[in-house]
Amino acid sequence: MRRIALAAALLLAATGAAQSDTAFRTDGAATVTLAATAASGRVQIRAAAGGTQHVRLYNAGSVAVFIECGTVAVVATVAASLPVAPGSVEILGCNQTHVAGITGTGTATLYVTPGTGI
């Protein structure tokens, strides 16, 4: 039994899995909201890109919001962007300055919190 535990610990250390399990924490930037509609909109989430930043997304609406991370010119599309289900929370890697969102129909409020961890 001790050998199995030791092997598991070595495997976690070798893959870095233990380090990636850090709880999400804000990076000091304020949570921003995006009023998502059937036309792509965007919101600035941090002043500069870089690092291994994440964003916590909470879709407070009753429809999916399709999102993209990028620069001031980022655009989201229903056909190709990542859907965030209604009422759900997602944490994604996003080391950019802006998040864009769009709905297929209806409207939703998307709360975006910059930070690190999962």
Q: Is residue 2 part of a domain?
A: no
- CA-CA distance, 75 to 115, in Å (whole number)? 22
Q: How confident is the model at residue 30 (pLDDT cuts 50, 70, 90)?
A: confident
In which domain, by residue range, is 93 found?
A: 22-116
Q: Is residue 39 part of a domain?
A: yes
Q: Is residue 51 part of a domain?
A: yes
Would the pLDDT of 117 be above 60? yes
Q: Is residue 94 part of a domain?
A: yes
CATH number at residue 93: 2.60.120.10
- CA-CA distance, 118 to 47, in Å (whole number)? 22
Q: Is residue 63 part of a domain?
A: yes
Number of domains in the chain: 1
Q: Is residue 11 part of a domain?
A: no
pLDDT at 27: 80
Q: Is residue 42 part of a domain?
A: yes
Q: Tell which wins on pLDDT, 32 or 10.
A: 32
Q: Is residue 40 part of a domain?
A: yes
Determine if the pTM surpasses 0.75.
yes
Q: How confident is the model at residue 6 (pLDDT cuts 50, 70, 90)?
A: very low
Q: 66: how many CB neighbours lie within 10 A of its CB?
A: 20
Task: Encode pLDDT of 52-77 as tens digits.
Answer: 689 999 999 999 999 999 999 999 99
Q: What share of the chain is helix, strand, coil (3-state, %, to 5)?
A: 15, 40, 45
Q: Which residue from 91, 93, 95, 20 is spatially nearest to 51, judged by alpha carbons?
A: 95
pLDDT at 20: 58
